[in-house]
Amino acid sequence: MPGQIAAILGYGDDNRRFVAEYDRVKSLVRQLLWNEQDGIFENRYWDGRFSKSLSPTNFYPLLAGIATADRQNAWCASICSIPRVLGQVRHSYDFPE
């Protein structure tokens, strides 16, 4: 969005800088925060492990246009299959009804 605003205002250099930064961050998020096994963008701990807690940040790559169509579909399938409400820890063991 900052790039679009800069373009509308005629600030071409700022537009290019913002777009380049968006592309850089988009690439990093796609590489580092996508968990193929879980089919969702997840936070990471400092040691590199994925966090299994759901939070609003799990949604940000979709809202920011970072997720590819395949990952959007996988993400939606994963979120819809979680037997708990958002904010709860999810693990591979069974949840009580």
Where are the chain's structural domains?
Answer: 1-32, 35-91
Q: Taking residues 50-58, what's their average pLDDT?
A: 87
Residues 6+ apart with CB under 8 A from 38: 50, 52, 78
pLDDT tens profile 5-52: 988 999 889 999 999 999 999 999 999 999 999 889 999 999 999 998
Total-model pTM: 0.72
H or E element, residue 41: strand 40-41
H/E element, 54: none
Q: In 1-97, which ranges are continuous DSSP H helix?
A: 2-8, 12-32, 60-63, 69-80
**Which residues contact residue 86 at a Cβ distance below 8 angstroms, ignoring those fewer than 6 apart?**
54, 55
For the chain, what is the mean pLDDT? 83
